[in-house]
Structure 1
Amino acid sequence: MASGIRATVKFTAPDGCPIAQRSKTTESVIDQVSTSVALSGSSGSVTEFLAETERIEDGDEETEPIFSYGTTSLYRTAHGDNEDCPCECLGRFGCPVHRYVAEDGDVTLVFHAESFEQLQDVMAALRDRYPSVDVQRLLQPPLEGSAREQVFVNRGKLTDRQREVLQTAYERGYFERPKRANATELAAEFGIAPSTFTEHLVAAQRKIFDDVFDHGTS
């Protein structure tokens, strides 16, 4: 069995998340959450969480607590198949949710992915649905370096041509010293001018470096 990857991501005010809405309304931290993700092909899932006792609004529907414990109540939210919140989106990939924390409308979600390939697919889907999502930490034993040095490189930011040019340049030895291939030779393979090849290569490197050095631009 592969060790997998544990990813920590943060969403700024994600739409459709009842826990995020509740934490913003009460200006509180909600970290006692139990959720069953909506697996692909299933009819939905259920999320339960503890929060301050009072009626909350979830879209056009009002949600009453299931149980109350003094000033704290247990709320239950049923999800459909529309992937309206982060845990529903994760369900499409079968990624288990490890922890779910909401504070002042923002959500920090810790989940497990089987591989970096799956993580790339998950992050691409999350970024498409929630552009504000930010990778806080990745953990895959054994990792070297501090938590700040463990960054996620989002290959999904590359266009198909940028990725093709970058991968070809790498595989053909363009970055080796001495070079095993030059820009003129590689550009000829793509049927483009050397200057165009270089433009694609530089654009791809810049996007990768933005993630490596945490510049947050694309």
Structure 2
Amino acid sequence: MSDGIRATVSFADPGTCPIAKASHSTDGPIEQVSTSVALPDNDGSVSEFMADSGLEAPWVEPVFSYGETTLYRITHEEPADCPCETLGEYDCPIHRYVAEDGTLTLVFHAPEFETLQAIMDSFREEYPPVDVQRLLQPPLEGSPEDRVFVNRGKLTDRQREVLKVAFEMGYFRRPKGANATEIADALGIAQSTFTEHLVAAQRKLLTDILE
């Protein structure tokens, strides 16, 4: 079993997330959340959370009062347009859930970097803008400022293919395993086209690394 990666991601527009919508009506953040997220073959899920008593939202059911706070319940009878449902599709557990003034922040665990990249690609496509606040993967080296997320989703399919083939053929090794002409021939494109795709892909990735 791998150590996995813990990611903290914030959504200014988390779709139809019912708890994020309910947070518009509370004086403080909603952060004590217990969520059972439905997987693709299931019909629904249930979420329970603590919030200020007096929360009024037709989709929220008060369960038990603790004086100034109340335990509320939401029953999700159908798949929701919500980041939590996306995580359920990837079978990634949520570590912490915070909703305040309609903004949703999730701390979740991904088993490996490839899964995290796929999740982030889905998040950026479905719930823009997305703010990646923190990534942790033990053992870690360097300062928090050195730990950046490279968004592979910025690349077009062709740019990703060019990078992959160039890497596999040894273009980035010293001495080179293959030159630009050989890689362009392997891809069936002109050398100038190969260079154009390569430079564009490197510029996108370096923007994330150096920003």
Cα offset, 1:184, TM superposition: 2.0
Distance change (3 Å), C-alpha of 1:83 and 1:151: farther
Describe how 1:28-67 pairs up with structure 2 within 5 A. Answer: 28-57=28-57, 61-67=58-64
Q: How many Å separate the matches in 2 of 1:83 and 1:128?
A: 16
Q: Aligned partners of 1:83 and 1:90: how far apart in 2?
A: 12
Mark the CA change 1:129 to 1:80 in structure 2 (over 3 Å): closer, same or farther: farther
The equivalent residue for 1:182 is 179
SS of residue paired to 1:144: coil
Cα deviation, 1:119-167, whole Å, max 9, x if unaligned, reads 1221122222212122111111101112222122222221221111111
CA distance in structure 2 between the partners assigned to 1:148 and 1:44 by the alignment: 39
**Quick check: 1:12–1:133 contact (8 Å CA) kept in 2?**
yes
DSSP-derived class of the 1:29 partner: coil
Instruction: Look up the equivalent residue of 1:206 and give its one-letter code.
Output: R
Matched residue type, 2:111: E
Q: Report the Cα distance in structure 1 between the residues aligned to 2:80 and 2:91, rounded to whole angstroms.
A: 13
Report how far residue 210 of structure 1 moved.
2.4
One-letter identity of the residue aligned with 1:24? H
1:176 corresponds to which letter in structure 2? Answer: R
Distance across 1 between alignment mates of 2:27 and 2:166 = 51
Distance in 2 between residues matched to 1:88 and 1:192, nearest whole Å = 40
How do 1:1-218 and structure 2 match up within 5 A? 1-57=1-57, 61-214=58-211
Q: Which moved more, 1:180-189 or 1:94-103?
A: 180-189
Q: With structure 2 as the length reference, what TM-score do the two structures score?
A: 0.92
SS, match of residue 39 in structure 1: coil
Counterparts of 2:38 and 2:61 in 1: how far apart (Å)? 22
Give the conservation status (yes or no) of the 8 Å contact 1:83–1:89.
no
1:208–1:198: structure 2 CA closer, same or farther, 3 Å change rule?
same
**8 Å Cα contact 1:51/1:75 also seen in 2:** yes
Root-mean-square deviation (CA, aligned residues, Å) is 1.7
Post-superposition offset of 1:209: 1.5
Q: What TM-score do you get using the length of structure 1 for normalisation?
A: 0.89
Q: Distance in 1 between the 2:207 and 2:34 partners?
A: 35
Contact 1:6/1:112 (CA < 8 Å) preserved in 2?
A: yes
Q: Which stretches of structure 1, 4 residues or more, deviate above 6 A after TM superposition? A: none
- Number of residues paired by the alignment? 211
C-alpha distance in 1, partners of 2:21/2:8?
20
AA paired with 1:159?
T
Deviations 1:10-69 (A, max 9, x none): 111312112212222335211111111112211211111111122433xxx453422222
**In the aligned structure 2, how far is the partner of 1:29 from the partner of 1:8?**
16
Output the CA distance in 2 between the equivalents of 1:13 and 1:157: 20
Aligned-partner SS, 2:95: strand
5+ long unaligned stretches in structure 1: none
Q: Which runs of 5 or more residues in structure 2 are unaligned?
A: none
Q: Which amino acid aligns with 2:127?
A: Y
